[in-house]
Amino acid sequence: MSEAKRLIVGLSGASGVIYGIRALEALDQLGVETHVVASKAAEMTLGYEMGMKPAELKARADFLYQPPDVGAPIASGSFRTLGMLIAPCSVRTMSEIATGVTSNLLTRAADVVLKERRLLVLMVRETPFHLGHLRTMTQLAEMGAVILPPLPAFYAHPKSVDDIVNQSVGRALDLFGLDWDATKRWGEDIREGRRPGAARRS
């Protein structure tokens, strides 16, 4: 499959695993081939936050790899992809990527994406940040990664948690040139002074 149709999706053990699941659902709708790696902590969080079992994650991925499988295709730069989205991204995962000393497939795949000058988007889930976190994020930005904490976009007038999640996921996918129709856009779906769905002035 061509480069434009593959995306690596990583899930770490941070809170907010719904972002990774929703991204997989969106990519399926968009016809993008997904190559997924989830940490053991992510599998635990799936159970805690969503009541999901690992088999349910597998059902949402085109290809699912285990963290120790450093011989997987996504561990090689010759395997072409659009890049990688880590949603959610824990501070531990972020920090390991920043050092370049990777211990599993999740961080190895991210390191490969950086070295191949492809797009790495990290939906970092932590607050508040201390100085070490901020310096690590600066280092990653200097290396070419995009730091995208999943912050609510209230200008889109969300009515549910799903609306908030969808907007953050949609904005992450925008960075890969992927247009998901659940994303609300200022100047298109949203006009100044007009809520989504309000009638246009004739």
- What mean pLDDT is predicted for residues 15-37? 98
**pLDDT of 193 strictly over 80:** no
pTM of the model: 0.92
Q: DSSP for the chain?
A: --GGGEEEEEE-SSS-HHHHHHHHHHHHHHT-EEEEEE-HHHHHHIIIII---HHHHHHH-SEEE-TT-TTSGGGSTTS--SEEEEEEE-HHHHHHHHHT---SHHHHHHHHHHHTT-EEEEEE--SS--HHHHHHHHHHHHHT-EE------GGG---SHHHHHHHHHHHHHHTTT---TT---BTTTBBTTB-TTPPPP-
Residue 53 counted as domain residue: yes
- What's the CA gap between 41 and 10, in Å, rounded? 12
Model confidence pLDDT, tens digit, residues 1-17: 444 599 999 999 999 99
**pLDDT per residue as tens digits for the range 171-180:** 999 999 999 9
Q: What is the mean pLDDT of the chain?
A: 93
Q: What is the pLDDT of residue 8?
A: 98
Residue 196 predicted with pLDDT over 80: no
Q: For the stretch 43-55, what's the b/e string if a residue is b when 16 or more beta carbons lie within 10 angstroms of its beta carbon?
A: bebbeeeeebebe
Domain that holds residue 125: 3-174
Has residue 169 got a pLDDT over 80? Answer: yes
pLDDT tens for each residue of 89-116:
999 999 999 999 999 999 999 999 999 9
Two structure tokens written together for 168: 């953050």
- With respect to residue 105, please indicate whether it lies within any of the assigned structural domains: yes
In a domain, 23, yes or no: yes
Residue 155 belongs to some domain of the structure: yes
Res 50: pLDDT:
96
- The per-residue pLDDT for 190 is 82
**Could you tell me the pLDDT band of residue 189, with boundaries at 50, 70 and 90?**
confident
Q: Is 161 within a domain?
A: yes
Number of domains in the chain: 1
**Backbone CA torsion sign across 92, 163, 83, 46:** positive
CATH number, domain with residue 75:
3.40.50.1950
Q: Which of 153, 82, 151, 72 lies closest to 113 in space, CA to CA? A: 82
Is 188 part of a structural domain of the chain? no
132: pLDDT strictly greater than 60 = yes
187: in domain: no
User: Considering the domain boundaries, does residue 201 fall inside one?
Assistant: no
Tell me the pLDDT band of 170, cut-offs 50, 70 and 90.
Answer: very high
